[in-house]
Amino acid sequence: MSSSTKVDLDGNPIKAMTICMIGAGGFIGSHLCEKLLSTTSHTILAVDVYNDKIKHLLEPESLPWNGRIQFHRINIKHDSRLEGLIKMADLTINLAAICTPADYNTRPLDTIYSNFIDALPVVKYCSENNKRLIHFSTCEIYGKTIGSFLPKDHPLRQDPEFFILKEDVSPCIFGPIEKQRWSYACAKQLIERLIYAEGAENGLEFTIVRPFNWIGPRMDFIPGVDGPSEGVPRVLACFSNNLLRGEPLKLVDGGESQRTFIYIKDAIEAVMLMIENPARANGQIFNVGNPNNEVTVKQLAEMMTEVYSKVSGEPSLESPTIDVSSKEFYGEGYDDSDKRIPDMTIINKQLGWNPKTSLWDLLESTLTYQHTTYAEAVKQAIAKPTSS
Ligand SMILES: NC(=O)c1ccc[n+]([C@@H]2O[C@H](COP(=O)([O-])OP(=O)(O)OC[C@H]3O[C@@H](n4cnc5c(N)ncnc54)[C@H](O)[C@@H]3O)[C@@H](O)[C@H]2O)c1
Ligand SMILES: O=c1ccn([C@@H]2O[C@H](COP(=O)(O)OP(=O)(O)O[C@H]3OC[C@](O)(CO)[C@H]3O)[C@@H](O)[C@H]2O)c(=O)[nH]1
């Protein structure tokens, strides 16, 4: 073995593999492609309906990884080429999904089809062709915490048993059917159960990833600049948009919900370990988050306001936030997860992985990117007279 051969966590050489990455053109996919191309010799068959976020990896042809990434513009809902690509690959990673909460209650059918029905052939082709699958699920699978059903001042609310989310222990607690917010979590839950059953009954080699609010550059879109004016992206892009436009940040139902945010680059390290350590990752469900970065949404808004003022040099508003009801912001049928702290025992034991970046540091690099990428375009969009 040459001294430069990369080895896995057990000291075995890592062989170059072909990876079919579905949803490669999205936020997580673009970072994963970047990392795979710049630090490994694996080849990527990148599948998506869009490629704007990976254009810099596809062109020009003089790039050092030329030939190791091929883009296939395929809608997995209806394209017979998908099975061929999965057959060509050693590993399939499925990231494709509708995964913005504004869609869950307003487009529940599209949400359920995207997260369950459209993922079915991917699971089937992997199982039938004995191909390994890494499937992206979500922390939303846990729904609400057990503690959220206790009175606000109940002492057990402080007991970690009542709020820490553990892959092999915690229940999935969703609201009633008329709260269509849970259409996404429920579809993701059922596809997880199906994958698990394929593993148990047919020997499918799988890993399920439950991301806990991964954030960073290239997440979603800025409405009216590189996405629809009326579109509602996830919170990082909503708040970035408000800051870029000099508007108050909107706190849904007072911004009391809590989240743990993790820097995309830390999270990608965890996925790389899964890819290159199949013996440790197969058959596992992994939480991937940063339990040390917990804030309420209100605290996130305050921190983003402070960081943005620092990186842009622009003073913050006197009243930087404004309250808005969830019905007004998301429409009928919205509901929310109260708190999301990942238990890290399993990923720590199997892969020895831990997140590194503090919330302040990740916001500083992300908001620097947002300012550099969008400030000028937002100024122009504001200056443009709107057609009546
Ligand atoms: N970002 C997070 O914090 C987070 C949290 C929980 C779960 N996840 C899961 O991780 C995965 C990726 O999330 P993301 O944040 O990168 O989202 P994203 O929306 O940026 O990426 C999803 C990609 O899938 C593509 N896609 C969707 N439907 C498709 C289809 N029918 N055919 C081909 N391509 C299709 C989209 O065009 C998009 O590029 C999703 O499954 C999501 O549910 C992400
Ligand atoms: O302008 C805004 C936008 C949102 N909020 C509130 O922030 C909380 C987080 O919202 P968001 O990041 O958009 O989404 P969620 O965390 O609720 O759900 C995601 O988690 C993982 C994933 O599966 C994929 O990313 C997705 O479902 C929330 O409480 C909003 O109400 C706000 O106050 N103002």
Residue whose token pair is 């199949």: 278
Average pLDDT over residues 52-76: 94
pLDDT value at 1 more than 60: no
Angle CA 39–45–47, to nearest 5? 120
Judge if the beta carbon of residue 242 lies within 6 A of ligand 2.
no
| Residue type at position 296 | T
pLDDT value at 6 more than 80: yes
pLDDT value at 294 more than 90: yes
Residue 300 lies in a domain: yes
The protein residue whose alpha carbon is closest to atom 18 in ligand 1 is 26
What is the reported pTM?
0.98
Of 62 and 167, the structure prediction assigns the larger pLDDT to 167
Instruction: With cut-offs at 50, 70 and 90, classify the pLDDT of residue 216.
Output: very high
Judge if the beta carbon of residue 350 lies within 6 A of ligand 2.
no
Side-chain half-sphere CA neighbours of 291 within 13 A: 15
Phi-psi category of residue 46: left, alpha or beta, with phi > 0 → left and psi -120 to 50 → alpha = beta
pLDDT value at 32 more than 70: yes
Instruction: With cut-offs at 50, 70 and 90, classify the pLDDT of residue 62.
Output: confident
ipTM above 0.90, yes or no: yes
In the reported structure, the alpha carbon of residue 272 is separated from the centroid of ligand 2 by a whole-number distance in angstroms of: 26
In the reported structure, the alpha carbon of residue 190 is separated from the centroid of ligand 2 by a whole-number distance in angstroms of: 22
The ligand with the least distance to the CA atom of 51 is 1
Task: Supply the CATH number for residue 160's domain.
Answer: 3.40.50.720
79-137 pLDDT tens trace: 999 999 999 999 999 999 999 999 999 999 999 999 999 999 999 999 999 999 999 99
Residue 102 lies in a domain: yes
Domains: count for the chain: 1
pLDDT value at 2 more than 70: no
| Residue type at position 16 | A
Residue 279 lies in a domain: yes
In the reported structure, the alpha carbon of residue 197 is separated from the centroid of ligand 1 by a whole-number distance in angstroms of: 23
Residue from 20, 21, 27 to probe ligand 1 pocket by mutation (most atoms less than 8 Å from CB): 27
Task: State residue 3's pLDDT score.
Answer: 57
Average pLDDT over residues 138-162: 97
Residue 371 lies in a domain: yes
Residues with CB under 6 A from ligand 1: 23, 25-29, 48-50, 75-77, 95-97, 99, 114, 118, 136, 138-139, 211, 213-214
Instruction: With cut-offs at 50, 70 and 90, classify the pLDDT of residue 226.
Output: very high
Residue 2 lies in a domain: no
Residues 6+ apart with CB under 8 A from 285: 137, 167, 168, 192, 196, 207, 208, 210, 346
Judge if the beta carbon of residue 238 lies within 6 A of ligand 2.
yes
Average pLDDT over residues 291-320: 98
pLDDT value at 386 more than 90: no
The ligand with the least distance to the CA atom of 20 is 1
Task: State residue 165's pLDDT score.
Answer: 98
Residue 285 lies in a domain: yes
Beta bridge partners of 71: 46
| Residue type at position 178 | E
Residue 30 lies in a domain: no
Decide if 369 is catalytic: no
The mean pLDDT of the chain is 97
Average pLDDT over residues 329-357: 98
Task: State residue 61's pLDDT score.
Answer: 83
**Which is the catalytic residue, given 142, 184, 263, 374?**
184
Q: Residue 119: which domain range?
A: 97-378
Residue 334 lies in a domain: yes
Of the candidates 365, 258, 345, 260, which has an alpha carbon nearest to the alpha carbon of residue 304? Answer: 365
Which atom of ligand 2 approaches the CA of 101 most closely?
A: 27
